[in-house]
Chains A and B, each alone.
Chain A
């Protein structure tokens, strides 16, 4: 049975999405994209340069296989994010938008108020919206209600490589969501990605851990395997964890025999 991921009207075989910042070169980014098997990469509109003298970031991607998810990185409020999304559409890019509104440039934490506002406007305008958002179960439901195609809560501070610091909230979000849940930030090791998939995330988005690795392509492959392993583990039915030991030979087994 196939285990494809469906977001809006599109089907994805790979559950690993890739961010394109911080790579040492376009070539390194292309190799990592290949090795990861990803079918969706996110690109900052502010980095895209249609008039580039050399190779632009978009030239390095196989856009037949990979869906381009332009992001609104740099937007500080809903108005700016909406304008950036419209610029992307006017420039002929896919109308899939990763909504990012991060008023503070150092930790890039998403602004929940502005994100909801922009999501509502963009969904009404026909965009397929995937919002990067705080791991807040109520906010994720509200984003779903205004028409977002997925929600992308953060696992921990972006770029922090800390793994799933928001575990409790993510568990609730996964449990309650009717749209795919993509864990978006803070995954620093393949094991973190496997962890997110075991927890029930539908996909993960990784950037820093791959882009800044000594060998980005090798790390991309490691994340690919981890995402597949985590997903397979989830589907196989993970055993419940328990704080007390559970003997494999029950001490009261003899009772049934009498």
Chain B
């Protein structure tokens, strides 16, 4: 087989002005990190008592001092979440299109160097996977793929979206980042949401863990949600992969800052954040700064207290007991019954999953747990007009 040369888009250095990415880079995150380091119990008290909180309060609530007030934070986060989102949790499922990848990222099972079974679904196979998910109740599907501009090309992605849009009311995309024109094609094909995790906001760590491939370009990735929003994506998901950087609080602060900047710049978009923790995967990467359950709870509560309206998404990386507890603290959407390998729902093969799933319960079991906890599992929350 002869290799087809891949046309590279022009990617100017830096991020464009008047974007959330630029706003983030202009924010003094070092100062905010210092606030988190130095916060006292009195600062925490004040932040808890406020009605509208900003980034300064986010730093205070992420501080070690605030860890002593975790129950108070949890109670407040629970009240706000119920008030803003009701006792309802949206459910979605990831659909892995391909585990082909040309990037070398130390923490990911799909990393180019890993000797794993690779597979890419045809659009028709993707549709069969989606039919299984629809049968299981899902009406929101997140399409996921590794980074391979030839095999997982923009034309291929557009074809997949077109194949699925007629049967799936809400489609989101979590694949390599693209330019605005490609995002517009995907929106026109029926894509409603864009998910781009920066993984870590620390440029040094970012360079260390993304060793090869297009993903090395930090700025191009950081401005991807801006490009998606400009192209008409309605929902934006951003996230940090906790454990990559050796200071999770710094990444959490940057994530919160980024979310706020996106909300300001793209006021029509619904913005959601995710704080996945590293899971075992092919390649055997060890977390630099393991995030404890208590840390994760503090982080989710702090985000909720500062941004009452932001969505918080939780994947099946986390184990059942923790997922069930977190849903009361601020989580607004969850995946369930996930397979992280291409074809995993309808036609499983030996294809390698991206990471080990921590919650293996079926979608119906997760829905039953939600109902037992007094929450309405919301399968459908969108209607393309």
Contacts and interface: CB of A to CB of B under 8 A. Distances in A.
- For the residues of A in contact with B, the DSSP-based class is loop
B121 interface: no
A51 B131 CA distance: 13
A159 B83 contact: yes
Nearest to A216: B87
A19 to B, nearest CB: 10
Q: How large is the interface on A (under 10, 10 to 19, 20 to 34, 35 or more residues)?
A: 20 to 34
Contacts of A22: 85-88
Contacts of B376: 23-26
A47 B374 contact: no
Interface stretch (A98-106, A133-141, A217-225): A98-106
Interface residues of B, number: 32
A208 interface: yes
A49 B268 contact: no
A161 B137 CA distance: 34
B3 to A, nearest CB: 43
A75 interface: yes
Interface string A66-93: 0000000011100111011001000000
Contacts of B270: 105
Interface string A113-142: 000000000000000000000000000000
Contacts of A80: 385
A176 interface: no
Residue of B84, B134, B137, B383 contacting most chain A CB atoms (<10 Å): B383
Contacts of B371: 25
Nearest to B138: A53
A208 B385 contact: no
A83 B379 contact: no
Residue of B87, B374, B382 contacting most chain A CB atoms (<10 Å): B87
Interface in B49-88: 82-88
Contacts of B375: 24
Contacts of B137: 52-54
Interface of B: 82-88, 134-137, 139, 169, 234, 263, 267-270, 309, 367, 371, 374-376, 378-383, 385
Given A24-B375, A25-B374, 10 more contacts: A25-B376, A46-B381, A46-B382, A46-B383, A74-B385, A80-B385, A87-B383, A105-B309, A106-B263, A212-B82
